[in-house]
Amino acid sequence: MSERSGDKKKAESREDRLRAALRANLQRRKAQARARADKPDQDNDAGSDTAGSDTGGDES
């Protein structure tokens, strides 16, 4: 019977580790999203200059 209680402790500790890892991952992703939201959109503006131009050269 002691084996079963040991398995429960292992399962609980595994679940605790998984919960902690999931929580840390969620916090990291939220921090990344906040950083992206706070960052000015310089990348989007720089690419808009050439977005409409055609560089294929097929038209005469």
Say if 57 falls within a structural domain: no
Say if 53 falls within a structural domain: no
List Cα–Cα distances, 48 to 4, 6, 8, 41, in angstroms.
63, 61, 58, 11
Residue 11, Cβ density class (10 Å: 0-12 exposed, 13-18 middle, ≥19 buried): exposed
Q: Specify the pTM.
A: 0.49
Say if 54 falls within a structural domain: no
Tokens of 48: 């808009």
Say if 51 falls within a structural domain: no
Say if 16 falls within a structural domain: yes
Q: What value, to the nearest 5°, has the Cα angle with vertex 48 and ends 46 and 50?
A: 100
Q: Which residue range(s) make up the domain with 21?
A: 2-37
Note down pLDDT in tens along the chain; length 60 residues.
455 667 888 888 999 999 999 999 999 999 999 999 998 766 555 555 555 666 666 666
Number of domains comprising the chain:
1
